[in-house]
Amino acid sequence: MTVQVKEYQLQDAAAVARLYKASDPAWPDGFTDNVLPTTEGIEREMTEENVLNTYLAWEDERAVGFANLVQIPDDEKAGYVGLLTSDPEYHGRGVGRDLIRRCIDRSVELGHTRITLGTWPGNTKAVPLYKKTGFHWGPDQHGWNELQNHIPLLLTHPLTKGYFEATDWYACYKRDLSLGLDTQKRNDTLVFPYEWDDEAGQLRAVFDQRTKKLVELDTPDLLLMLDAAQPEMLRGAEQIATLRAVSKTNEPLTLAVAARDDGPVKAQHYEVLNVPAGGAGAVQVKLTAAAEKADYGAASLKLLVNSHPLEMAATVRVLPALELQMEPETIALRAAQSTAATLNLHNRTEEAMAVRLLVQPAEGLVATLANEHLHLAAGEVAGVPIDLYAAVGGVFPLTINPVVTVGEQTKPHPPLTMEVAAVAPAQVQVTRKEDETLLFTEDLSLSIAHKEPWHMVRERRTGKALLNQSFNAGPPYWPSPLDEERADIAVQQEPGSV
């Protein structure tokens, strides 16, 4: 079978309509949403969709595959395969592969450094194809999964471009194609590794899953490795990140290294490193964790490697000295009934600490801790029962302030704040947050997003998601104006319904 990939033309609308109809059985719940595709509808969709390029795979006069490439709105260096489908009769014949490769080639032409693609976890037929074409599926993703592909950067960057000019990246790409999440770790941090082996030599590139930046680049000419001493650090603590550089040729390397970051992990450093031919060198950068906030940060470096710009960034998580967590996270409180929960405490330091807990419930809520004074050994985890009661329905803020003493030093700690919804029979409670509106019944909660049309229903007692639903309004379906515009959610309660 000879398949040709061509740019979509207006006269191809009828062929696309036939392809959409043929593809319907291969998609969960159908591909066309029970709306019969028409030539006129395809013409309108192709005119109004906000896409960069649309491609069709042809066998003779028959369209057997479709893919489009969309610009990610908030990242000019990233593209997204908005739709990829093929005629079920042609599954396993390389149609999807050729379409993806064309989208990657186009991303390279547009100067993208990565390309993404969405799929569902049960799409077992396609996942090996996606992996073989460079996409990675990270374990932080749930439901509809966005897969990441960093090959466009490697095909275009001056430090790696020469390797791929002499190598077929697809044919020489080494990858485990087994089903499942990509859970490889480097220094206890989730990464996406890429490896090639050819007559031109071996090339290995490792990207940090969270930062989407390189942490290791190993080519026939050089080796660059960025490592933080520890992947986690406490608020206010310091540690060292090290950049190692090796020249593998008879040419020296010159690296200008800059670190300037005011986020959760702070750094300020500038240094020029000269690596002799066939030699090695290193740059050490001091990292300081922000004292006021626990969050994910990174050891981030901007480099000039023989005058070629390159960014590297390794994830570093900033943790509080004392971690507080309520279990369950969402408390299913019924009006005029006591409910028990557990406040978990984790001493993340290497020293013992004394903790005094100050409970501040809003008026109308009674919160009683079984023990307000605790002594935690280094690394110890402890749970304290807490009893909650509200006489009437309502949504009540609850704050727990810990005062921590380590040695002779006593200082306040960031509080645990949460909302507790108490619901009386046949009533509904409503609370509004920055990104969502929440409705509570005795047994269920409904979350409605203010952006990106989406809602979720959970069982309050267990937190289990019973319904997770979104829709794309358009055209253009994505990116849609509704993804950026904030909606005002109006809630009106009537007898027997909301």
Q: Tell me the DSSP string of 174-210.
A: E----SS----EETTEEEEEEEEEETTEEEEEEEETT
pLDDT grade for 394, boundaries at 50, 70 and 90 = very high
* Residue that finishes a domain, picked among 259, 284, 319: 319
At 106-141, the pLDDT tens digits run 999 999 999 999 887 677 788 899 999 999 988 754
Above 90 in pLDDT, residue 143?
Answer: no
Is the domain of 237 the same as that of 283? yes
Above 60 in pLDDT, residue 343?
Answer: yes
Q: Of 100-104, 139-143, 194-198, where does mean pLDDT reach its minimum? A: 139-143
Above 90 in pLDDT, residue 158?
Answer: yes
Is the domain of 231 the same as that of 314? yes
Is the domain of 435 the same as that of 488? yes
Average pLDDT, integer, range 391-419: 92
Rounded distance, CA 61 to CA 185, Å?
A: 47
pLDDT grade for 330, boundaries at 50, 70 and 90 = confident
Give the global pTM: 0.86
52 domain-assigned: no
* Residue that finishes a domain, picked among 286, 319, 352: 319
- Count of domains in the chain? 3
pLDDT at 323 (0 to 100): 94
pLDDT at 26 (0 to 100): 66
At 234-261, the pLDDT tens digits run 998 999 999 999 999 999 999 999 998 8
Q: Give residues with Cβ within 8 angstroms of 459, minimum separation 6.
A: 443, 444, 466
Rounded distance, CA 355 to CA 358, Å?
A: 10
More confident residue, 222 or 435: 222
- Most confidently modeled range among 32-46, 325-339, 357-371: 357-371
354 domain-assigned: yes
Average pLDDT, integer, range 474-483: 57
Above 60 in pLDDT, residue 306?
Answer: yes
Give the number of other Cβ atoms within 10 Å of residue 338's Cβ: 12
Adjacent-strand bridge partners of 472: none
pLDDT at 180 (0 to 100): 83
- Give the CATH number of the domain where residue 293 resides: 2.60.40.10
Above 70 in pLDDT, residue 160?
Answer: yes
Which of helix, strand or coil describes residue 115? strand
pLDDT at 479 (0 to 100): 56
Q: Of 172-181, 202-211, 312-321, 359-368, where does mean pLDDT reach its minimum? A: 172-181
Q: What φ, ψ does residue 495 adopt, rounded to 5°?
A: -55, 120
Is the domain of 306 the same as that of 330? no
Average pLDDT, integer, range 444-450: 90
Average pLDDT, integer, range 16-25: 84
Q: Of 33-42, 279-288, 354-363, where does mean pLDDT reach its minimum? A: 33-42
194 domain-assigned: no
pLDDT at 36 (0 to 100): 66
Above 60 in pLDDT, residue 171?
Answer: yes
Q: For the chain, what percent of residues have pLDDT higher than 90? A: 66
Helix axis angle, 13-23 to 39-48, nearest 10°: 100
Average pLDDT, integer, range 390-415: 92
Average pLDDT, integer, range 43-50: 77
249 domain-assigned: yes
Q: Are 377 and 349 a contacting pair, CB within 8 Å?
A: no
Rounded distance, CA 449 to CA 433, Å?
A: 10
Is the domain of 326 the same as that of 310? no
Is the domain of 398 the same as that of 438? no
Rounded distance, CA 446 to CA 454, Å?
A: 11
183 domain-assigned: no
* Residue that finishes a domain, picked among 268, 302, 319: 319
Above 60 in pLDDT, residue 478?
Answer: no
Segments forming the whole domain that contains residue 485 = 428-497
Give the number of other Cβ atoms within 10 Å of residue 404's Cβ: 19
Give the number of other Cβ atoms within 10 Å of residue 163's Cβ: 21
pLDDT at 494 (0 to 100): 74
